[in-house]
Structure 1
Amino acid sequence: MMADWTWVVYTGLEVLIALVCCLGNALVVFAVCVGIKGALHEPTFCFVVSLAAADFLVGVAAVPLAVLLDGWVHLAPQLCLLLSCVVLVLTQASVLSLLAIAVDRHLRLQTPLSYQKLTRPSQTWLTVAICWSLSCVLGLTPLFGWNNFSTMAPPCGKNESNELPVLVAPPCTFLSTISLPFMVYFNFLGCVLLPLLAMTLLYVRIFWSLQGRLRDSTPQARVSLLRERRLACSLALVLFLFAGCWMPLHVMNCLLLFWGPQTVTKGAMYTGILLSHANSAVNPVVYAYRIPKIQQAYANIWRRVLAVMSGRCGEQRGERAGSGSRLRWTESVESVNPAVEVSSRINPPQNL
């Protein structure tokens, strides 16, 4: 276990990351679904909503589970394994959403004539459903046998009469149930690194094609191509941040597998966990600064919020002003004719 102060710092940072994940990604979903007209008919924004939903669930489920599944609770191995798999499902959903975004931008650029037929709203949401279904299958793979159950031996205790041994559930940790070979060979190499390489290749082709078209384009077409390149840069930045935030943790898993636990300190491991969770909190900021439509939707939402708040403040000021004018009227009447004091308190003026 970590030292008490280190645990407090780690837990505090995880709570902060969880709050930012929830608020930021909920704002992204609301901005796209409500603030951008017709956004849910555009494939790219549908996949952005899918990615934001995965990041939102990281704040709701993955971060609390990461804090909980650190040896602080004693659970049955099957339940501990199931909760650990939730983190894998959400990570895989993020990877496949990023892959869908890259494929969508590539198809839009390379096959503009058939793009509309290939990306009808029904087909787009079917793709989103396939991504999440495949994420569940890949993330829940340890439930079907690739886990540490064969090496887990729960400690035995004794009952109150000290006669028969009683099995005691071991502390629940992620790596006590999830196999390191699974994390390295299947999850990292197959489910994370391979899609990242494919996405990198797609974005290289996108930028290469855009650069060539910009050289030969007319001034009217140049504006559209520059807008396309800006959006591609923003989405590529999201991919780059995902890789940068998740790679340290996967590299440490490789070190643990090939060179043993002495190669990775607990402080380094917790830093990698925090960094991977922070990725889900960064994406809404990227959308706000890099994608104009989402940026405008953010601005409209904040203007509405400020208008509602200012309206409530105006109503409160009006109520205070009305009560103040009524008080001043009463005081003026009393100063002119003290005899009116009693009657004015009983029957206040009806025209105010």
Structure 2
Amino acid sequence: MAEWSWVAYTALEVLIALACCLGNVLVVCAVCIGIRDSFREPTFFFIVSLAVADFLVGVAAVPLAVLLDGWVSVTPDLCLLLSCVVLVLTQASVLSLLAIAVDRYLRLHTPLRYKALATQRRTLMALSVCWTLSCLLGFTPLFGWRNQSSLASDSTNTTSSSFIPPPCTFLSVISLPFMVYFNFLGCVMAPLLVMTLLYIRIFWSLQGRLKESCPQAQASLLREKRLACSLALVLILFAGCWIPLHLMNCLLLFHGPQAVTRGTLYTGILLSHANSAVNPVVYACRIPKIRQAYSQIWRHFIVRLNCCHGDKQVCQSITISQDNATETSGSNKRTAAFGLNET
């Protein structure tokens, strides 16, 4: 790839990393601070889990993607460990999306038992299972399923006293058969298929209930449908951003390096990383509670900024308006339905 293309790629990766970090920190703050009693809703736990995974993409996966392109020379074992971190974060996103889909399915199909099933303790256990599985599946190459040519080269070169570690690249240590058969088909496509079936079942059930229910019940069902549409959109964006890169891995495996140009591969990598920056925007546009929490955080930030500049009159007026808005919101919440569907 030409030098100017590499500079453009690196600059875009930096922008994506910043957007991932800032946007997903805002999501976590919105849920943990801006939404009262948010952790009584299991869905919020899983949204925070997804936001943490997306934040770590900006902090770790994007910088590693740039470095693991021949810019650093480390031992193959360390190179393999760094490459596996990217796989762990991807798997955490997939399993968090799966947990969200299962939660919405249980909420709709077992409404009477939902509160007993989805306790805070069980939700935290589900999150622990998600992240533990992500580590086990992502670090699988460390247990032997790796690029053996890299290992053979390492053992040969270590006999030389002047051994210099080779440049570290992702595909020099991660096996393409592993990426296609295990990671893509087993760890990504299988959960995506399960989630697709769950959302089809959810929308089919909601459509039937909307036709049969009374007008009072329809309002609640419509809110549930809008939320399900928002979460399904997050799933669709994930699939649309990640599947092209996996398809490129399939082409590389079956047709060789000439099947995918370097520029096309970098475009797929950028698209996969951009998914982590898009999710906070989807939450802001589609989920009213998170959108309101965003507004509260920004207003609070503006108040602090004005106070720091000594504009006490503006600070006081905005604080009063915030208090009034909070009281109004609290009054509305006490008279609304529980959970995410309050808004």
TM-score, length-normalised on structure 1?
0.86
- Report the counterpart of residue 29 of structure 1 in structure 2: 28
The one of the two structures with greater contact order (alpha-carbon pairs below 8 A, sep at least 6) is 2
Counterpart selection for 2:227 from 212, 231, 243: 231
Task: Tell me which moved more, 13-22 or 147-156.
Answer: 147-156
Is 1:302 matched with 2:318? no
Task: Give the conservation status (yes or no) of the 8 Å contact 2:245–2:268.
Answer: yes
Task: Give the conservation status (yes or no) of the 8 Å contact 2:184–2:246.
Answer: yes
Task: Give the conservation status (yes or no) of the 8 Å contact 1:154–1:168.
Answer: no
- Report the counterpart of residue 94 of structure 1 in structure 2: 93
Structure 1 residues 215 and 12: alpha-carbon distance in aligned structure 2, compared to 1, 3 A threshold: same
TM-aligned CA deviation for residue 219 of structure 1: 1.3
Task: Give the conservation status (yes or no) of the 8 Å contact 2:75–2:165.
Answer: yes
What do the CA deviations read for 1:85-117 (whole angstroms, capped 9, x no partner)? 000000000000000000000000001111111
User: Equivalent residue of 2:243, what SS?
Assistant: helix
- Report the counterpart of residue 129 of structure 1 in structure 2: 128
- Report the counterpart of residue 71 of structure 2 in structure 1: 72
* Residue identity matched to 1:280: S
Determine the C-alpha separation between the residues in 2 that align with 1:293 and 1:158: 58
Specify the structure having the higher radius of gyration (Cα): 1
TM-aligned CA deviation for residue 157 of structure 1: 8.1
Determine the C-alpha separation between the residues in 1 that align with 2:150 and 2:287: 49
Q: Give me the identity figure in percent.
A: 70
What do the CA deviations read for 1:248-298 (whole angstroms, capped 9, x no partner)? 100000000011111000000000000000000000000000000000100
Determine the C-alpha separation between the residues in 1 that align with 2:270 and 2:155: 31
Structure 1 residues 125 and 157: alpha-carbon distance in aligned structure 2, compared to 1, 3 A threshold: closer
* Residue identity matched to 1:132: W
TM-aligned CA deviation for residue 169 of structure 1: 1.0
Alignment of 1:265-344 (within 5 A): 265-315=261-311
- Report the counterpart of residue 173 of structure 1 in structure 2: 169
Alignment of 1:153-192 (within 5 A): 153-154=153-154, 166-192=162-188
TM-aligned CA deviation for residue 7 of structure 1: 1.2
Task: Give the conservation status (yes or no) of the 8 Å contact 1:155–1:167.
Answer: no
* Count of residues in correspondence between the two structures: 313
Determine the C-alpha separation between the residues in 2 that align with 1:42 and 1:63: 31
What do the CA deviations read for 1:202-255 (whole angstroms, capped 9, x no partner)? 000000000000111111111110100000000000000000000110000000
Task: Tell me which moved more, 106-115 or 306-315.
Answer: 306-315
Task: Give the conservation status (yes or no) of the 8 Å contact 2:46–2:100.
Answer: yes
TM-score, length-normalised on structure 2?
0.88
| CA-atom RMSD in angstroms | 1.9
Task: Tell me which moved more, 148-157 or 227-236.
Answer: 148-157
Determine the C-alpha separation between the residues in 1 that align with 2:135 and 2:211: 44
Determine the C-alpha separation between the residues in 2 that align with 1:155 and 1:208: 57
Structure 1 residues 217 and 14: alpha-carbon distance in aligned structure 2, compared to 1, 3 A threshold: same
Determine the C-alpha separation between the residues in 2 that align with 1:127 and 1:268: 37
Determine the C-alpha separation between the residues in 2 that align with 1:4 and 1:170: 22
TM-aligned CA deviation for residue 65 of structure 1: 0.2
Task: Give the conservation status (yes or no) of the 8 Å contact 1:156–1:167.
Answer: no
- Report the counterpart of residue 323 of structure 2 in structure 1: none
Is 1:106 matched with 2:105? yes
* Residue identity matched to 1:213: R
User: Equivalent residue of 1:147, what SS?
Assistant: coil
Task: Tell me which moved more, 145-154 or 266-275.
Answer: 145-154
